[in-house]
Each structure stands twice: as structure tokens, then as C-alpha cells.
Amino acid sequence: MIGKLIVLTGFSGSGKDTVMEKLLKTRPEIKRIVTHTSRPIRPNEKHGKDYYFVSNEEFESLIKKDKFIEHVMYGSHYKGTLKDEFQKVFQGQSII
């Protein structure tokens, strides 16, 4: 069985995180993909929960190893989703 992929898009501040949090609370079968970023961690964030925080050099190494399904440079930092995280949908798990 293949799971469902839910993609939330919108402008900064449009409420994507709010919608995601409500979905995660009301639909426990949906799991959040944790993406990678090379930006500095903020005080309220946790590595492995909000993002995987890595250096630009570590991120570039993962790019060279073809580990990302998608990635982008936003300002001076990278953001991206590992193929391994995305594979969960093919293992029957619904992801957002």
C-alpha cells in the first residue's frame, strides 16, 4: 500500500505551520517529514524535530552524494528533503 503525500505551500506567514499542526494532532497516522537546513538553529527549535541542522559544507556533501529529492538555496542557506524521508510514502506511511 502506498501512503499519501500532503504538500502545504504558501507565502511566509500564511499559516502553513498552523494547518500542519492541526492535521498532525487530528490525524495521528500522518507523519511529518523532517527536512534539512543549513541555517542556524533558533532558540525554540530542536534538531531532528523541526529540521536537521547541518553546515553548508555538510549540505553540499549530501547534494554531491545525490541524497536529496529536492533542495534549494534560500538566502545564504540551503533547505531540502532527503530521498530517505520521502521513501516513507512508498512504505505505506502518509507524510506531510
Give the model's pLDDT for residue 94. Answer: 87
Q: What per-residue string of b and e applies to 48-85 under the rule 16 or more CB within 10 Å gives b? A: eeebbbbeeeebeebeeeebbeebeeeeeebbbbbeeb
Beta carbons within 10 angstroms of residue 37's beta carbon = 19
Give the model's pLDDT for residue 54. Answer: 98
For residue 74, the surrounding DSSP H or E stretch is strand 68-74
Task: Report how many helices (DSSP H) and strands (DSSP E) the chain contains, helices first.
Answer: 3, 6
Give the model's pLDDT for residue 46. Answer: 96
Total-model pTM = 0.84
Q: What is the pLDDT along the chain (96 residues), one digit of tens a residue?
A: 788 889 999 998 899 989 999 999 999 889 899 999 999 999 999 999 999 999 999 999 999 999 999 999 989 999 999 999 888 777 888 888
Domains, in order of start, for the chain: 16-95 (3.40.50.300)
